[in-house]
Amino acid sequence: MTRLSRAPRRRRGLLAAALSLALLPAVLVLPARAAPDGHPAVIGRRVIGHSVQGRPIVAWHLGESGKPKVVLISVMHGNEPAPRRILDNLRDGQPVHDVNLWIVPVYNPDGFAHRSRRDARGVDLNRNYPYKWARLTGSYYSGRKPASEPETRAMMKFLAKVKPAYVLSFHQPLHGVDITARPAFSRRVARALDLPMTHLNCGSSCHGTMTMWFNHKFAGFALTVELGPSPSAAKLRAAPDRILHVFGAWRGGVQGIARRD
Ligand SMILES: [Zn+2]
Protein backbone atom coordinates (compact mmCIF):
# COMPACT_ATOMS: atom_id res chain seq x y z
CA MET A 1 0.00 0.00 0.00
CA THR A 2 1.38 3.52 -0.85
CA ARG A 3 1.16 6.67 1.23
CA LEU A 4 -1.19 8.19 -1.34
CA SER A 5 -3.81 5.47 -1.04
CA ARG A 6 -3.78 5.49 2.76
CA ALA A 7 -5.35 8.93 3.34
CA PRO A 8 -8.62 8.42 1.40
CA ARG A 9 -9.02 5.03 3.02
CA ARG A 10 -8.75 6.64 6.46
CA ARG A 11 -11.37 9.25 5.46
CA ARG A 12 -13.66 6.47 4.29
CA GLY A 13 -13.15 4.82 7.66
CA LEU A 14 -14.11 8.00 9.50
CA LEU A 15 -17.17 8.41 7.30
CA ALA A 16 -18.24 4.83 8.03
CA ALA A 17 -17.77 5.40 11.77
CA ALA A 18 -19.87 8.61 11.62
CA LEU A 19 -22.57 6.78 9.67
CA SER A 20 -22.73 3.93 12.14
CA LEU A 21 -23.06 6.43 15.01
CA ALA A 22 -25.93 8.12 13.14
CA LEU A 23 -27.62 4.74 12.64
CA LEU A 24 -27.12 3.64 16.25
CA PRO A 25 -30.54 4.75 17.58
CA ALA A 26 -32.25 2.88 14.74
CA VAL A 27 -30.31 -0.28 15.58
CA LEU A 28 -31.21 0.00 19.25
CA VAL A 29 -34.95 0.04 18.58
CA LEU A 30 -34.86 -3.12 16.45
CA PRO A 31 -36.41 -6.15 18.20
CA ALA A 32 -33.90 -8.02 20.34
CA ARG A 33 -35.06 -11.32 18.84
CA ALA A 34 -32.41 -12.73 16.53
CA ALA A 35 -33.56 -14.94 13.69
CA PRO A 36 -30.59 -16.99 12.46
CA ASP A 37 -31.01 -18.37 8.95
CA GLY A 38 -34.44 -16.74 8.62
CA HIS A 39 -36.05 -18.74 11.44
CA PRO A 40 -38.27 -16.21 13.22
CA ALA A 41 -38.89 -18.59 16.14
CA VAL A 42 -35.20 -19.16 16.87
CA ILE A 43 -33.50 -16.98 19.48
CA GLY A 44 -30.32 -19.04 19.68
CA ARG A 45 -28.49 -22.11 18.43
CA ARG A 46 -26.00 -24.16 20.38
CA VAL A 47 -23.86 -27.14 19.38
CA ILE A 48 -24.07 -29.20 22.58
CA GLY A 49 -21.50 -31.75 21.47
CA HIS A 50 -20.49 -34.07 18.66
CA SER A 51 -21.34 -37.64 17.79
CA VAL A 52 -18.85 -40.51 17.58
CA GLN A 53 -18.39 -39.70 13.88
CA GLY A 54 -18.05 -35.97 14.54
CA ARG A 55 -21.51 -34.79 13.55
CA PRO A 56 -22.73 -31.76 15.56
CA ILE A 57 -25.65 -32.21 17.97
CA VAL A 58 -27.63 -28.99 17.67
CA ALA A 59 -29.99 -27.49 20.25
CA TRP A 60 -32.27 -24.67 19.08
CA HIS A 61 -33.44 -22.08 21.57
CA LEU A 62 -36.99 -20.80 21.10
CA GLY A 63 -39.47 -18.85 23.19
CA GLU A 64 -38.56 -16.38 25.89
CA SER A 65 -35.82 -16.40 28.50
CA GLY A 66 -37.17 -16.04 32.02
CA LYS A 67 -40.15 -18.33 31.36
CA PRO A 68 -40.43 -21.98 32.48
CA LYS A 69 -37.74 -24.11 30.84
CA VAL A 70 -38.75 -27.04 28.65
CA VAL A 71 -36.52 -29.32 26.55
CA LEU A 72 -37.87 -31.46 23.69
CA ILE A 73 -35.70 -34.24 22.25
CA SER A 74 -36.25 -36.47 19.23
CA VAL A 75 -34.27 -39.03 17.19
CA MET A 76 -32.42 -40.40 20.19
CA HIS A 77 -32.90 -43.62 18.25
CA GLY A 78 -31.92 -43.02 14.63
CA ASN A 79 -34.64 -45.24 13.22
CA GLU A 80 -37.48 -43.30 14.92
CA PRO A 81 -37.67 -40.24 12.64
CA ALA A 82 -41.36 -39.12 12.82
CA PRO A 83 -41.23 -36.98 16.01
CA ARG A 84 -38.49 -34.89 14.45
CA ARG A 85 -41.14 -33.32 12.20
CA ILE A 86 -42.86 -31.90 15.30
CA LEU A 87 -39.63 -30.29 16.52
CA ASP A 88 -38.66 -29.02 13.05
CA ASN A 89 -42.11 -27.47 12.73
CA LEU A 90 -41.58 -25.57 15.99
CA ARG A 91 -38.12 -24.40 14.90
CA ASP A 92 -39.32 -23.29 11.46
CA GLY A 93 -42.60 -21.74 12.59
CA GLN A 94 -43.75 -18.54 14.26
CA PRO A 95 -42.15 -17.03 17.38
CA VAL A 96 -43.00 -18.95 20.55
CA HIS A 97 -44.21 -17.22 23.72
CA ASP A 98 -44.55 -17.94 27.44
CA VAL A 99 -42.01 -20.78 27.56
CA ASN A 100 -38.21 -20.95 27.53
CA LEU A 101 -37.89 -23.78 25.04
CA TRP A 102 -34.90 -25.79 23.83
CA ILE A 103 -35.33 -28.41 21.13
CA VAL A 104 -32.90 -31.08 19.94
CA PRO A 105 -34.48 -32.52 16.77
CA VAL A 106 -31.67 -35.00 15.99
CA TYR A 107 -30.02 -36.17 19.18
CA ASN A 108 -28.36 -39.20 17.52
CA PRO A 109 -27.09 -37.83 14.18
CA ASP A 110 -24.95 -40.90 13.38
CA GLY A 111 -27.84 -43.29 13.99
CA PHE A 112 -30.05 -41.02 11.91
CA ALA A 113 -27.53 -41.00 9.04
CA HIS A 114 -27.31 -44.81 9.15
CA ARG A 115 -31.05 -45.36 9.93
CA SER A 116 -29.95 -47.26 13.00
CA ARG A 117 -31.40 -47.28 16.51
CA ARG A 118 -27.95 -47.06 18.01
CA ASP A 119 -24.95 -44.74 17.71
CA ALA A 120 -21.94 -45.37 15.45
CA ARG A 121 -20.40 -47.74 18.03
CA GLY A 122 -23.60 -49.75 18.25
CA VAL A 123 -24.59 -48.31 21.65
CA ASP A 124 -28.21 -47.67 22.58
CA LEU A 125 -27.94 -44.12 23.98
CA ASN A 126 -31.06 -44.75 26.05
CA ARG A 127 -29.25 -47.45 28.01
CA ASN A 128 -25.94 -45.61 28.39
CA TYR A 129 -26.84 -43.12 31.16
CA PRO A 130 -25.07 -43.44 34.52
CA TYR A 131 -28.08 -44.34 36.65
CA LYS A 132 -28.98 -47.99 37.18
CA TRP A 133 -26.69 -48.77 34.25
CA ALA A 134 -26.33 -52.45 33.48
CA ARG A 135 -24.33 -54.45 30.99
CA LEU A 136 -26.80 -55.13 28.16
CA THR A 137 -26.15 -56.64 24.76
CA GLY A 138 -27.90 -56.83 21.39
CA SER A 139 -30.09 -53.95 20.27
CA TYR A 140 -30.01 -52.55 23.84
CA TYR A 141 -26.18 -52.65 23.97
CA SER A 142 -25.43 -50.28 26.85
CA GLY A 143 -21.81 -49.46 25.99
CA ARG A 144 -18.54 -50.46 27.60
CA LYS A 145 -19.31 -48.34 30.70
CA PRO A 146 -21.85 -45.74 31.92
CA ALA A 147 -21.75 -42.51 29.85
CA SER A 148 -19.16 -44.02 27.51
CA GLU A 149 -20.65 -42.24 24.49
CA PRO A 150 -19.99 -38.60 23.52
CA GLU A 151 -23.70 -38.16 22.71
CA THR A 152 -24.62 -39.20 26.28
CA ARG A 153 -22.07 -36.85 27.84
CA ALA A 154 -23.18 -33.97 25.59
CA MET A 155 -26.82 -34.32 26.67
CA MET A 156 -25.89 -34.74 30.36
CA LYS A 157 -23.89 -31.51 30.26
CA PHE A 158 -26.62 -29.69 28.38
CA LEU A 159 -29.43 -30.77 30.72
CA ALA A 160 -27.30 -29.99 33.79
CA LYS A 161 -26.74 -26.50 32.44
CA VAL A 162 -30.33 -25.76 31.37
CA LYS A 163 -32.00 -27.55 34.33
CA PRO A 164 -35.41 -27.68 32.62
CA ALA A 165 -38.65 -28.04 34.52
CA TYR A 166 -39.79 -30.57 31.91
CA VAL A 167 -38.17 -32.78 29.29
CA LEU A 168 -40.19 -34.63 26.67
CA SER A 169 -38.20 -37.41 25.01
CA PHE A 170 -39.96 -38.49 21.82
CA HIS A 171 -39.74 -42.06 20.56
CA GLN A 172 -41.56 -44.59 18.40
CA PRO A 173 -43.37 -46.97 17.95
CA LEU A 174 -45.00 -48.02 21.26
CA HIS A 175 -47.90 -45.53 20.94
CA GLY A 176 -48.49 -44.32 24.44
CA VAL A 177 -47.47 -42.11 27.34
CA ASP A 178 -46.43 -43.69 30.60
CA ILE A 179 -48.54 -42.11 33.34
CA THR A 180 -46.93 -43.97 36.24
CA ALA A 181 -44.92 -40.96 37.44
CA ARG A 182 -46.45 -37.46 37.71
CA PRO A 183 -49.80 -38.78 36.40
CA ALA A 184 -51.55 -35.38 36.12
CA PHE A 185 -48.88 -33.92 33.83
CA SER A 186 -48.38 -37.16 31.91
CA ARG A 187 -52.14 -37.44 31.28
CA ARG A 188 -52.14 -33.88 29.94
CA VAL A 189 -49.39 -34.79 27.46
CA ALA A 190 -51.20 -37.98 26.42
CA ARG A 191 -54.47 -36.14 25.84
CA ALA A 192 -52.77 -33.32 23.92
CA LEU A 193 -51.16 -35.79 21.54
CA ASP A 194 -54.15 -38.12 21.40
CA LEU A 195 -52.06 -41.00 22.70
CA PRO A 196 -53.16 -43.83 24.99
CA MET A 197 -52.18 -43.65 28.65
CA THR A 198 -50.11 -46.66 29.54
CA HIS A 199 -47.78 -48.13 32.08
CA LEU A 200 -44.83 -48.87 29.83
CA ASN A 201 -43.08 -51.90 31.15
CA CYS A 202 -39.65 -52.41 29.69
CA GLY A 203 -38.84 -55.28 32.04
CA SER A 204 -35.18 -56.01 32.57
CA SER A 205 -33.99 -53.69 29.76
CA CYS A 206 -34.88 -50.46 31.62
CA HIS A 207 -31.45 -49.51 32.82
CA GLY A 208 -29.47 -46.37 32.23
CA THR A 209 -32.21 -44.49 30.40
CA MET A 210 -32.00 -40.74 29.99
CA THR A 211 -35.33 -40.05 31.69
CA MET A 212 -34.44 -42.26 34.69
CA TRP A 213 -31.12 -40.47 35.06
CA PHE A 214 -32.70 -37.02 34.76
CA ASN A 215 -35.53 -37.77 37.19
CA HIS A 216 -33.07 -39.13 39.73
CA LYS A 217 -30.70 -36.17 39.48
CA PHE A 218 -32.87 -33.08 38.97
CA ALA A 219 -36.01 -31.50 40.37
CA GLY A 220 -37.58 -31.32 36.90
CA PHE A 221 -39.49 -34.14 35.25
CA ALA A 222 -38.51 -36.05 32.10
CA LEU A 223 -41.21 -38.02 30.29
CA THR A 224 -40.94 -40.52 27.44
CA VAL A 225 -43.55 -39.98 24.74
CA GLU A 226 -43.99 -42.90 22.34
CA LEU A 227 -45.67 -42.12 19.03
CA GLY A 228 -47.04 -44.92 16.91
CA PRO A 229 -45.13 -46.63 14.08
CA SER A 230 -46.52 -44.25 11.45
CA PRO A 231 -48.35 -41.25 12.89
CA SER A 232 -50.65 -39.48 10.41
CA ALA A 233 -49.52 -36.22 8.79
CA ALA A 234 -52.52 -34.45 10.35
CA LYS A 235 -51.49 -35.55 13.86
CA LEU A 236 -47.91 -34.46 13.32
CA ARG A 237 -49.10 -31.07 12.05
CA ALA A 238 -51.36 -30.53 15.06
CA ALA A 239 -48.81 -31.73 17.63
CA PRO A 240 -46.54 -28.65 17.90
CA ASP A 241 -49.31 -26.27 19.03
CA ARG A 242 -50.82 -28.91 21.29
CA ILE A 243 -47.49 -29.47 23.00
CA LEU A 244 -47.04 -25.73 23.52
CA HIS A 245 -50.54 -25.64 25.01
CA VAL A 246 -49.54 -28.24 27.63
CA PHE A 247 -47.00 -25.73 28.94
CA GLY A 248 -49.32 -22.71 28.67
CA ALA A 249 -47.28 -21.53 25.68
CA TRP A 250 -48.33 -20.43 22.19
CA ARG A 251 -46.87 -19.05 19.00
CA GLY A 252 -47.62 -16.23 16.58
CA GLY A 253 -47.03 -12.49 16.35
CA VAL A 254 -45.32 -10.23 13.86
CA GLN A 255 -41.73 -8.93 13.99
CA GLY A 256 -41.27 -9.76 17.62
CA ILE A 257 -44.53 -8.06 18.72
CA ALA A 258 -46.52 -10.60 20.67
CA ARG A 259 -50.07 -11.02 19.42
CA ARG A 260 -52.56 -13.77 20.09
CA ASP A 261 -54.16 -14.84 16.79
ZN1 LIG B 1 -36.71 -44.94 20.95
Tell me, in angstroms, the distance from the centre of ligand 1 to residue 40's CA.
30
Residue in 201, 207, 211, 214 with CA at minimum distance from that of residue 142:
207
Tell me, in angstroms, the distance from the centre of ligand 1 to residue 209's CA.
10
How far is Cα of residue 71 from the mean position of the Cα atoms in its chain?
6
169: confidence class by pLDDT, cuts 50, 70, 90 = very high
Q: What is the pLDDT of residue 176?
A: 95
Tens-digit pLDDT profile for residues 136-149: 999 999 999 999 99
Listed ranges 196-200, 201-205, 215-219; the one with the highest mean pLDDT: 215-219
DSSP 2-70: -HHHHHHHHHHHHHHHHHHHHHHHHHHTS-S---GGG-TTEEEEEEEEE-TT--EEEEEEEE-TTSPEE
Cα separation, 197 vs 179, in Å, equals: 6
Tell me, in angstroms, the distance from the centre of ligand 1 to residue 39's CA.
28
Say which residues have a Cβ less than 8 Å from residue 119's Cβ, sequence separation at least 6: 51, 52, 108, 110, 111, 125, 149, 151
Residue in 157, 56, 193 with CA at minimum distance from that of residue 112:
56
18: confidence class by pLDDT, cuts 50, 70, 90 = very low
Tell me, in angstroms, the distance from the centre of ligand 1 to residue 126's CA.
8
Tell me, in angstroms, the distance from the centre of ligand 1 to residue 76's CA.
6
Tens-digit pLDDT profile for residues 56-94: 999 999 999 999 999 999 999 999 999 999 999 999 999
- Per-residue pLDDT for 28 more than 60? no
High-pLDDT (> 90) share of the chain, %: 77
Tell me, in angstroms, the distance from the centre of ligand 1 to residue 124's CA.
9
60 phi and psi angles, rounded to 5 deg: -105, 135
18 phi and psi angles, rounded to 5 deg: -65, -40
Tell me, in angstroms, the distance from the centre of ligand 1 to residue 1's CA.
62
Q: What is the pLDDT of residue 34?
A: 52
- Delimit the domains of the chain by residue range: 1-30, 34-251
**CATH architecture of the domain with residue range 34-251:** 3-Layer(aba) Sandwich (3.40)
- Per-residue pLDDT for 151 more than 60? yes
Q: What is the pLDDT of residue 87?
A: 98
Contacts by 234-238, CB closer than 8 A, 24 or more apart = 235/193, 235/194, 236/82, 236/85, 236/86, 236/89, 237/89
- Per-residue pLDDT for 204 more than 80? no
What residues pack around ion ligand 1 (CB closer than 5 A)?
Answer: 77, 80, 171
Mean of per-residue pLDDT scores for the chain:
87
Does residue 89 contact residue 240 with C-beta atoms inside 8 Å?
Answer: yes
Tell me, in angstroms, the distance from the centre of ligand 1 to residue 224's CA.
9
